[in-house]
A and B are shown apart, each in its own frame.
Chain A
Amino acid sequence: MAWLVVRLAISMSLLYTASAVFEDQVGKFDWRQQFIGKVRFALFDTHSQASKKLLLATDKNVFASLNSRTGDLFWRHVDKTGPEGHIDALLMYGQDAVVVVGNGRLLRSWETTVGGLKWETVLDTGSFQAAALVGVQDFVKYVAVLKKSAISLHDLSSGSEIWVENLPDSDSVQYQTIYSGGNGLVLVLGVVPNSHIVIVEYKIEDGEIMNKKSVEAAWMSSLESSCAVVSSGILLCVDQITQSLYTLPLQSAEQTEMRQIHLQTLDLEVVSGFRPVLTSTQPNPAQPPLSEFFLQLSPDHHILLQFKDGLIAPLRDFNPAYLAAFATSGERTVAAVMSPKNDTACSINLFSADTGRRHLDTTIIYHMDPNGGKPNRLYVHAFLKKDDSVGYRVMVQTEDLALTFLQQPGRVVWMREEALADVVTMEMVDLPFTGTQAELEGEFGKKAAIQDGLLPMVLKRLSSQFILLQAWLAHLWKLFYDARKPRSSVKNEVTIDVLSRDEFNLQKMMLMVTASGKLFGIDSKSGTILWKQYLENIQPNSVFKLIVQRTTAHFPHPPQCTLLIKNKDTGLGSLYVFNPIFGKKSQISVPALPRPILQTLLLPVIDQDYAKVLLLIDDQYKVTAFPSTKNVLQQLQDTASSIFFYLVDSSQGKLSGFRLRKDLSTELIWEVVIPTEVQKIVAVKGKRANEHVHSQGRVMGDRSVLYKYLNPNLLAVITESTDTHQERSFVGIILIDGVTGRIVHEAVQRKARGPVHFVHSENWVVYVYWNSKFRRNEFSVLELFEGAELYNSTVFSSLDRPHPPQVLQQSYIFPAPINTLEATLTEKGITSRHLLVGLPSGNILSLPKLFLDPRRPEMVSEQSREENLIPYAPEMPIREEWFINYNQTVSRVRGIYTAPSGLESTCLVVAYGLDIYQSRVFPSKQFDVLKDDYDYILISSVLFGLFFATMISKRLAEVKLLNRAWR
């Protein structure tokens, strides 16, 4: 029977070739969320009052325009990753946004309404320092870019270079800022640390040096962090050691040294160890900056000061205040200040910049997420109301990369969780049953059957049926009630309380771990974030491993997940245990991990609370078990001789296998050394633990069976040559038995290089590499077979397999670059497999494994036709119907996660990168459920038609018989 199903599945998949999306299925079970990353620059379009644009540049090299009323993307441009796409500066004037990219390599101007490029210029090499808009006579016409050794001026409308000048003494002077007050000059400020400041004046028209002077400043180390220009060209600096402010008119010839103003004279003091920060504002680049500025003296102490006639006067002291920012609308400049209100909320108030007076009724209450981080950036959008007063909205960015957009009196307009732009790892967990379902399950529990007699069991049965009936009626009533209401008002709000497993287990909880250390629990059906938890003090270079120790199947024990957080440099790790459904931290005591962790191992051994045992191996090969109760230790002692694990040391090219001893120490069993001079280990992968293989073999054309080599301990090791020359580079694959260390197979692809993506599953390994000779991507598939007979069909043992497997291999050309590769996974493994290929274009290709079959014949024969083998073709086809995410492209797809659902035909897919896309795939079509377009009307009309036809003909026949009898 099973064979039949498999063959049926294969023939079905051949008929339709692959699963595809129908147009009416759009958005039915899939969703996409787009992200941008950590915001580095944000500018509100203040060009017109009605504008909703918010321009953002992020650390993910994304430049985007957001609708500030909804938080949705207008458009988004994703540049190259790495330093070459890094956005250094964002300037905006009118409809155009000027962006400096790639350490000052490119200067781009974007038309912000359409989202198209206006112009792009390549700048000379040199590390970027600063960029500024330059105005002449109230009009901004130019943009100036300061590099380490040169300054260039570009026309704002065409991007053409007006002039470029080398900076004087650029090897000794660190030029750091540009200032232009709209008076026909561009000033470049540089510093020689702990010596003096250099000021060079350039004429806008031709770049001629008008003036150059140097001013003594022995205390100064850097201009950027401690200085600002205020009022009409006054350089203002702050120094925490001398506790004083320094002022210098930039363009006056008389004053040749900085004037010192002690902070004490202003009754101010810098907290020791804190670097004070000056913030000034220049609303119009063609005009000098305002004379008001903020001085931050400690993490929560800001003060608004004014510079007037060479004197500094405090306008208002904000203590405590976390954040402060200026905003301008028309001619009015305001300052927004965020101060703590109580433990969970902050209040934001608006003050007029020139007087420091508080605007009435401008308070916005910002509620801090108890599971989130502290706010660290404040962006203000000020606008003029009809009555000429200033209104404002704020965007708050927190440490955990959440963006919250608020308006008065504290309504959250929208919120974005930008931490999800960098998902590191994820898992899917089944949802728990509802109370009633759980109760019904409990009825059939073992304990209940023993304790109760017959009658109580019957009563229990009846009562549970009654409960079910009640629930069903309530459901019907709800349906009826909802149907009466207009469709728009029916809200499908998803909360944790109403979540329960659906009948096919298609809805699951997605656990996502992000690089910033924020954990998310997301409903897979709707994409709603159900819970989030920010883990503080996560090092930026941490690696994460998420382990599901106990699923929801063990009611009443709560499900349990463990996150291993490991510092990449030191290797020291820590465990965070939580409930994946509610996101709550578990109270279970966690073992301390004093030594670097090398390897983790989730055993099928369970403790008395049904949690799987996690083994952690440290750098002295000592094993820590978690949970480590007596029961567990006893079980471990019993099974120790059959617990093996492997370690990979890619720096020494060493693979080693260990066995657990009874006292939880380990012994080395085997070691394979791959010489690092020639090749390096790139990746090692075993098979997925939750994978099921339904069929033990394949039926051949002549009705014999070719048995698969299903070694659960098999490891696929990918190596790359250290020599990267086109002719000599190669990619190697080694299949190693993880228990015995026996090399099962070895293959080398010459004239090939990485990056290698591969999938290891069932009895096959599929890997992709770059063929450097022909400059194309190639797929190669390795399949392992035992042959026509199984050696030991009941149990597989690595120690007792005398015959090496037969290995078949075939390669194909793949006509596109590849970002990531994964295979579909279903409940029982009956459904045919597909490979999910993430392409740089953002599409996810569902490629039938049928095309990657090393038994594809060159010549078609009767037998190969019988087996449904596709004749060999060197080039793999890519069809647009195979893109499971149609136009919902996933930028920079980095990983694809597949999980089985309760339906055998259905596999849940989550692709994550910059965006997150969730969908379902049906590799062999939906053979176990009725199709979406199943024609109920036709089938019922045919049935009724037949029924009535028989009724009528019966009646007619009776009449006829009667008539004949009378004759």
Chain B
Amino acid sequence: MQQMKRLLDVYVALQALFALSCCFSDAEPGPVAGSQSNGDRFRIEGRAIVPGVKTQDWISTARILVEGEEYVGFLKTDGSFAVNDVPSGSYVVEIVSPSFRFDPVRVDITSKGKMRARLVNYIKTSEVIRQPYPLQIRSSGPHTYFMKRETWGWTDFLMNPMVMMMVLPLLIIVLLPKVVNTNDPEMRKEMEQSMNMLNPNPELPDVSEFMTKLFSKGSSKSSGGNKGTRSIAPKRR
């Protein structure tokens, strides 16, 4: 909660900043709808576009929702819409369609009926990134409701790290002796050097050793005394 408050404080400050920078006549576009008593009602207009799809294929299932279901509008056969009887205030206008995705737009209506549209930003609520008004809402494509099933293919199998870890050393073991001439003394020397490099740090405890130690400890408990550990002790370097 505290985090939230802190964030909010930041946003309040931001909001003040925006109020200064914004020359829109109603910088605080939040006259609550309920406090209006003059009963002026306005109309939100716009057009929805789904690129490449005929309007009659999708408009019958789509609706315009203003601030949830507070005001509802329907689409005309040409894709345009109008939501009537909306009092002044600030509203999120959303086109809801089960098949296509539309981004919501915030529409501010002043008490005089002046309108503007801007991007919805729930965090910086007073940030103004203007959108065209009358609204032009373009669908960003069909909804992606479904997860992709993981399909099985040979490439997936081969690219599996486990498979690669098994196959590559095999190739090296089989192919390397044939490629490299082991009789060459210079080469042999080089290889020996690299083998030394590969050898682990003698200070580092070995995993296998650790395991044996662990298990022998367990068994030693039953046998009584620490014979097991002692027997391993000489192995330790």
Contacts and interface: CB of A to CB of B under 8 A. Distances in A.
Contacts of A84: 85
A116 B79 CA distance: 9
Contacts of A772: 32
A887 B146 CA distance: 10
A619 to B, nearest CB: 35
19 contacts: A21-B146, A22-B147, A75-B61, A85-B72, A102-B85, A114-B59, A115-B59, A116-B60, A118-B76, A120-B76, A725-B32, A775-B30, A840-B68, A840-B69, A842-B96, A842-B98, A874-B4, A880-B101, A888-B98
A883 B145 contact: yes
A81 B69 contact: yes
B122 A774 contact: yes
Contact of A933 (B30, B35, B90, B149): B149
A875 interface: yes
Interface of A: 20-24, 74-75, 77-81, 84-85, 102, 105-106, 108, 111, 114-120, 122, 724-726, 772-776, 780, 809-813, 815, 817-819, 840-842, 854, 858, 872, 874-875, 880-881, 883, 886-889, 892, 933, 935, 938
B186 interface: no
Contacts of B96: 840-842
A77 B74 contact: yes
B119 to A, nearest CB: 12
B220 interface: no
A841 B32 contact: no
B99 interface: yes
Contacts of A105: 84-85
Contacts, number: 142
B24 interface: no
Given A23-B146, A813-B123, A817-B92, 8 more contacts: A21-B145, A106-B84, A120-B76, A772-B32, A840-B69, A872-B3, A880-B145, A881-B147
A819 B65 CA distance: 13
Contacts of A119: 76
Nearest to B106: A775
Contacts of B56: 114, 116
Contacts of B60: 74-75, 77, 114-116
Interface in B84-132: 84-85, 90, 92, 94, 96, 98-99, 101, 120, 122-123, 125
A811 B143 contact: no
B82 interface: yes
A706 B22 CA distance: 49
A77 B120 CA distance: 26
B32 A880 contact: no
Contacts of A774: 8, 11, 122, 125
A887 B98 contact: yes
Given A116-B60, A772-B32, A811-B1, A889 B98 contact: yes
Contacts of B11: 774
A118 B77 contact: yes
B67 interface: yes
Contacts of A872: 3
Contacts of A775: 30, 90, 125
Nearest to A120: B82
A80 B17 CA distance: 38
B7 interface: yes
Nearest to B74: A117
A886 B59 contact: no
Contact of B65 (A120, A815, A840): A840
A67 B122 CA distance: 43
Contact of A810 (B4, B72, B76, B101): B4
Contact of A24 (B4, B32, B149): B149
Contacts of B52: none
Contacts of B30: 726, 773, 775
